[in-house]
Amino acid sequence: MHLDDKTGAYFDFGNHTEKVRLRWYENREAMKRELLRETLEAPHLQLVPHVGYVSLFPFMMGAIPPESWVLEKQLDLISNSSFLWTDYGLRSLSRTSSMYMKRNTEHDAPYWRGAIWINMNYMILSGLHHYAHGKLLKQCCEMYQYLPFTNFTVCITLLTLRCPVEDGPYSVRAGELYDELRSNLIRNIVGNYQETGFFWENYDQKNKGKGKGARSFTGWTSLVVLIMAESYPSLHR
């Protein structure tokens, strides 16, 4: 992952060109036509400028210092509806990307190019929770060996209730985004379940968050239970 100083996003780096498209070619011998990739400009070494889940991996891991300007930029990427934010969860690829909702081949429809995936949203929620409430959790863990059990329980209860915690200049904003994203995800997943009786593989951000892909998908979509319980892995180092 490589940090782009202009956007505060993390990108892949390698041979890349934006001048590429899919084009139909006639194959008269086979009496058919094929949709093939056409490159209009030779690729060269550069950042791959597509904002998506991949741009947030250091954020998901809690690897960005809480006082860093990069954290502010990451929160901007998360909250901007032109990039990832929707009322149903965070989409997988920014609407500004040239690959947004584009096919990869004739038989390979858009998959990770816009849909809402619950496993990645869970990891982003984990990052938001970390930056909003990390300081209190760290203090509770450090004090645990010196406190009576009842006091430690109270401490964890206060954390679960998400009392305001100042943990860097962006903790309040991270907490606000955490609350809103969590509510959006729960509302959409539960709403789809009530309507269809299924958990879905992913959710369609272009069709009011409707479930799509494999149904009865109690794999990563069942993470909604941990989201409801606000149960996340510790990102403290």
pLDDT at 178 over 60: yes
Judge contact between 40 and 23, C-beta under 8 A. no
Residue 9: closest CA among 119, 90, 94: 94
Mind listing the pLDDT tens digit for each residue in 198-216? Answer: 999 999 999 999 999 998 8
**Identity of the amino acid at 76:** D
Q: Would you state the pLDDT for residue 165?
A: 43
Query: Rounded to an integer, what distance in angstroms lies between the CA atom of residue 236 and that of residue 61?
Result: 9
E strand intervals along the chain: 2-3, 10-11, 13-16, 20-27, 32-39, 44-47, 200-204, 210-215
pLDDT greater than 50 at residue 166: no
Decide: residue 150, CB within 10 A, 0-12 exposed, 13-18 middle, 19+ buried.
exposed
For residue 153, give the nearest of 144, 145, 162 by alpha carbon: 144
Under DSSP, the state recorded for 93 is B
19 neighbors 41 (Cβ within 8 angstroms): yes
CA distance 92 to 107: 20
Provide the token pair at 90: 């965070």
- Per the prediction, the chain carries an average pLDDT of 85
Whether 162 shows a pLDDT value over 70: the answer reads no
Domains assigned to the chain: 51-229 (1.50.10.10)
Residue length, the chain?
237
